[in-house]
Structure 1
C-alpha cells in the first residue's frame, strides 16, 4: 500500500491492476485506516480515472453477497450515483416499481440496489422501509421477490460486507470518493442493463467508459440541470436531460426532451419533499394512478428503464407500457408483494 500511496502522491494514477491491489487491501481489512483515507483522498483530489473506477468495482463485485436470478429473467437496475442533494421524492425507486410491474410479464425483473440517504432527503432504503419493506431479507427471499414480484431491493450494507472497513473512513472524510461511483457498478444480482442518474456530464463520461470495461449490455446515464442551476441525476418534466447510452460496446450522447414526448411541463416544487414519509405518500399516490407531475416523472423514468431492459423499442413505447402498469394495478402489486414476501 505504501508504494501505491507514493505513486499517488507523485501525481501518477493507478493502473487497473494496481487499483485492484489497493482496494483489495482496503476491502479485506489489511490497510490501515490512515492508508485508506490517504488513498481515497488522493484519488478524489484529482478525480478518479477509468482504471481506478474499474479496479475498485472489480474488487467490490468479487466480495459482494450475490442474489441468484430466476432462470429466464433479465435484470435491470435504476441505482444512481447520488451526490446531487436531491429534495425530490424517490424517483428512481418509484420508477423501479413501475418498471417491474410492466416488465415481469415480459421476462424483465428489477434488482434495485440502494442505500440510506447520504446527500438527498430520502434514500431508496429510507422510503421502502417507510412503506413497509423489510431491508434485511435473506438473499433467497430476494430471489423469490424477483420471481413473484418482479423486483427485489438489494440493501447495500447487507450485500457489501467488505465496506465495513472503508465505511468509517468515508464517514470521517465527509466528501465524495470513488466509492460513490462504484455503487451503481456493483449490483448484487449482476445487472448489466441499467438506468443510472449521475451528478454531472463528466461523471457520465467516466462511468460510461467504466461500464464498457465491465461488460455492460445496455445502460443509460442521465443528467439534467434545474432552472436554478442545480444538478439532478434523473429524468424529469422540468426540462430536457442529457443522456449517454452504453450499448453494443459503443457510447452515444443525446438529449431527452420530455416536451417532445408530449409530457406536460412541471415545476420542481411540485414534487419536493422534506422526509422519507413525505416521499412514501407520493409513491402511494403514483401507484394509485393519481395524475400529476410525480406520476409523469415516474412514467418517464420507468420508460427509460424498460427501454434499456429490452422490452420497449423506444421511449414512446416504454411510456405506454409504464402507464398501463400503473393504471391496471400491476405496479402497486409489486410493492404489496415485496412487503408481504420480505416480512414473511
Structure 2
C-alpha cells in the first residue's frame, strides 16, 4: 500500500493516476482492511485532491462488486442511484417515482445506508424509519421478498456489501467526499441493465458516461439534478447525458415544454415531511410541484428503458397510474411486506 500511496500523493505536479491493475490492488487492500486506517485515510485524501481517474473508479467498483451480495431479481431493472449523503433542501422524488415506475411495469432497485459525509442529509432509510420499519430487524431476505411482491428492491449497502460498513468510521472521521461517494452508487445490487445517476458538476459528464459504458449498462442517464441527485428539476431545465448502447449524447429536459414547470416552495425538510409528501403524491395529490416532479422523473426513466417512446407518453402513462391509485397500491404492497416481519403496529391502510 505504501508504494501505491506514494504514487497518488506526490503533490500537485508529481502525483499520477494509478493503472487499472494498481487501482484494483489499492481497492483490495482498503476493502479487506489490509491497509491501515492511516494509509487508507491518506489514500482517500490524496485521490480527492488529484481527482479519480476512469480506471481508478472502475477498479474500485469492481472490487466492491466482488465483495457484495448481489441478486438477479429483475432482468430488465432500473437502478436509481441516489446520493448516500442524502438531501437537505429538496424533495426526494426518486422515492415515489420508484413505485410509480413499478406500477408501469418497470422494476426498480433503490439502495443506500445511514447518512454519510459530506452532506449528512436525509436518506431513504430515514423515510423507512418514519414509515415504522426497523432497519436493524429487517434482513436481505425481507427486502427481496418485498421486491418480488412489489417490483421495488431496496438494498442496504452496508448489509449487502460488508466492506462498506467497515470503512464507515474512517469516512465519518475524514468528513469529506471520497472516491466511495461515487463508487458505492455503482455496486449494482440488482444486476440492473439501466441506471439513473446524479452528478453535481457538469465537468464529469464525459468521464462518468465512459465509466457506465465500461461497467456494462445498456442504458443510462447521468443527470445534473437537484443537490447532485438523479432527480430532474421541475422549476427549470435539467442537463443530462443519455447513454444508449455505448453512445452518449448531451440533452436538456425542459419541464415548461411539457406543461409541468412549477415553482417550488421553500421548505424545511424533515424525514417525516419527505415521507408524508411522497405518500400524498402516490395517492394522486399533494403539492403540484412535487406531483409534477414525480411525473417528470418517472416519465424520463420510462423512456430511458424503452417502456414508452417519448417523455410525453411517459407523462400521460404515469399520470393515469397516480390518479387511479395503482402507484399507491404498489407502495402499499411493498410497505406491508416490510412491516409484517417486525409485527409493526403502523397503520397500513
> Given the two structures, how large is their TM-score scaled by the length of structure 1?
0.90
Partner of 1:111 in structure 2? 109
Instruction: Quickly say closer, same or farther: Cα 1:341–1:296, change in 2 above 3 A.
Output: same
The superposition leaves residues 37-77 of structure 1 with CA deviations (integer Å, 9 ceiling, x where unpaired) of: 0111111012111111101100011111122415xx42112
Match of 2:331 in 1: 335
Q: Compared with structure 1, are the counterparts of its residues 158 and 165 closer, same or farther at alpha carbon in structure 2 (3 Å cutoff)?
A: closer
Counterpart residue number, 1:187: 188
- Name the counterpart of 2:254: 257
Change (3 A) 1:29 1:120: closer
TM alignment of 1:300-315, pairs within 5 A: 300-315=296-311
Alignment partner of 1:254: what SS?
Answer: strand
Q: Would you say 1:37 and 2:41 are equivalent positions? A: yes
Aligned to 2:317: 321
Instruction: Call closer, same or farther: CA 1:149–1:325 in 2, change over 3 Å.
Output: same
Superposed displacement of residue 144, structure 1: 2.7
Alpha-carbon deviation of 1:83?
6.1
Higher relative contact order (CA 8 A, sep 6+): 1
Cross-structure match for 1:56 = 60
Q: Which residue of 2 aligns with 1:198?
A: 199
After superposition, what is the alpha-carbon deviation per residue over 1:172-192, rounded to whole angstroms, capped at 9, x for unaligned?
111100100012211211223
SS at match of 2:181: helix
The Cα of 1:8 is off from its aligned counterpart by 1.0
- Residue in structure 1 matching 2:279, options 284, 306, 311: 284
1:221 matches 2:222: yes
**Greater mean alpha carbon deviation, residues 333-342 or residues 46-55:** 333-342
Note the 1:3-22 alignment, pairs <5 A.
Answer: 3-10=3-10, 11-22=15-26
Could you tell me how far 1:7 is from its partner in structure 2? 1.1
Contact 1:64 1:161 in 2 (8 A): yes
1:140 Cα deviation after fit:
3.3
Q: Is the CA contact 1:53–1:178 (under 8 Å) kept in the aligned structure 2?
A: yes
Instruction: Find the aligned partners of 1:91 and 1:17 in 2 and give their Cα distance.
Output: 38
Q: How many residues of Structure 1 are paired with residues of Structure 2 in the alignment?
A: 332
RMSD: 2.0
Structure 2 residue matching 1:246: 3-state secondary structure: strand
1:243 to 240, 243, 246: 240
Which runs of at least 4 in structure 1 moved beyond 6 Å after TM superposition? none
Distance 1:128 1:324, change over 3 A: farther
Give the TM-score normalised by structure 2.
0.89
The answer to whether the 8 Å contact 2:159/2:165 transfers is no
- Contact 1:82/1:233 (8 A) holds in 2: no
- Aligned mate of 1:80, from 79, 82, 87: 82
The equivalent of 2:2 in structure 1 is 2
